Amino acid sequence: MEPMVTVITPTHNLLQNNMADSFNLLVQLLDMQTYPNIEHLIIDNGSDDGTIEFLKDYKNQGYLTFFSQRDTGKFNAYNKGVMHAKGKYITFLSPDDFIHDVTAIYDIVNLMENNNADFTFAPAYCRHPEGFVFLFAPAMHTAFQVMPCARQAMFFKKSMIEKENYFDEKFKLMADFDFIMRIIMKKYTPVYFDTNYVTYKLGKQVMENEQRAEAESKAIFNKNFRTLYPMNETVLDKMAKYSEFPQELLNKLVKFFPDDDRDIFFDRYEQLHQIRLNAAKAREQYNN
C-alpha cells in the first residue's frame, strides 16, 4: 500500500476573512489528486464565525479531518498537526494555497521513496498581495542567508520533523527558515522535484513586521551558528541586514553541501550579498 501523505492546513475564521472559496479550491484540487492515500488535516484556531460548521460539512463528506482549539500561532498549529498526522510524509498548505498539478503528490512520493529522501523542494508560483504572480525558484545554496524556497513547495518525512523536535515556536514569523537551516546542517537527504506544482499566496506578516523579522533572523543565526563562530551584535546585524557573513563562518558552512558545490555556494552567497547591499543603499537614498 502507498504510504500516506498528510496535508496540514491551519485555519481561523475562514468565513469572516472571505476565504471560503479559496479553501474550497484547495480541497477540491486535493480531491482530484491521482495519489490515493491523502489525509487532509485542518488545525483550526478556535474559529467563532461559523467556520466549524463549514468544516463539519467537508468532514461529513469525507474530505478532511479537523481539530479546533486555540493555538499560539501558525507554527504551533503546524506542530499540533504533525502530532495528529497519520502520514509518512507531510506538507503544509494555507487555506488560500492550492496544488494545481493533479499528479504531483503521486510523483513526489515516488521520488522520495526511490531516493529515500527526507525532504523535497520545488519551484512554486507565488501570488503577491499586490496582485501579480511570480515564480519562486529554489536556491538551496542560500539557505543560511534567507528562506531558500517556498515552504508550500516542500514535503517532509514526519519522522524527521519529530526527530528534530518540530518547529521552534519562539520564532513566530520565521520558524520554517530555522527548521530548513537545521535539517541542512544535520545533513538530511534532500531531493529536488523539478516541477512547479503549487500556487501559494505570499503572507503579509514578514513584510508588515520587518523589525520583528530582522530580530528573528538574528536570533536564528545566533542559535544555529554560535558554535561555529563567535557571534556579537555587529556580526549579527550585518548578517541580518546585508547577508554579510564572516569568511571564517562561510568556510564552515560550505561543508554542509557536497564538495562539488563549493564554488556554487560562494557564488550564490556573493550574489545575494550584493543584492541585499544594493537594496539597502536604494532604501537609504529614497529615505534621504
> Can you give the pLDDT at residue 64?
96
Q: State percent of the chain over pLDDT 70.
A: 99
**Residue ranges with strand state E in 159-268:** 190-192, 198-201
Give 12-53 pLDDT, tens digit per residue: 999 999 999 999 999 999 999 999 999 999 999 999 999 999
- Nearest Cα neighbor of 91 from 25, 152, 11 is 152
C-alpha cell at 205: 506578516
Backbone angles phi, psi at 119, to 5 degrees: -160, 155
> Can you give the pLDDT at residue 280?
79
Residue 5, strand partner residues? 38, 89
Give 90-149 pLDDT, tens digit per residue: 999 999 999 999 999 999 999 999 999 999 999 999 998 888 999 999 999 999 999 999
Annotate 242-265 with b (16+ C-beta within 10 A) or e (fewer): bbebbeebeeebbeebeeeeeeeb
Q: Judge whether residue 288 has pLDDT over 70.
A: no
Alpha carbon separation from 46 to 31, 69, 93, 101 (Å, rounded) = 25, 5, 18, 31
> Can you give the pLDDT at residue 239?
96
Distance in angstroms between the alpha carbons of the first and the last residue of the chain: 63
> Can you give the pLDDT at residue 205?
74
Residue 11, strand partner residues? 44
Contact present, 79 and 55 (Cβ < 8 Å)? no
Backbone angles phi, psi at 153, to 5 degrees: -100, 30
pLDDT bucket at 202, cuts 50 / 70 / 90: confident
> Can you give the pLDDT at residue 210?
85
Alpha carbon separation from 41 to 77, 99, 109 (Å, rounded) = 11, 15, 18
> Can you give the pLDDT at residue 86?
98
Amino acid identity at 95 = P
Residue 136, strand partner residues? 124
What is the mean predicted confidence (pLDDT) over 218-236? 97
pLDDT bucket at 206, cuts 50 / 70 / 90: low
Contact present, 80 and 47 (Cβ < 8 Å)? no
C-alpha cell at 120: 523535497
Sign (positive/negative) of CA torsion 103, 84, 55, 130? Answer: negative
H or E segment to which residue 124 belongs? strand 124-127
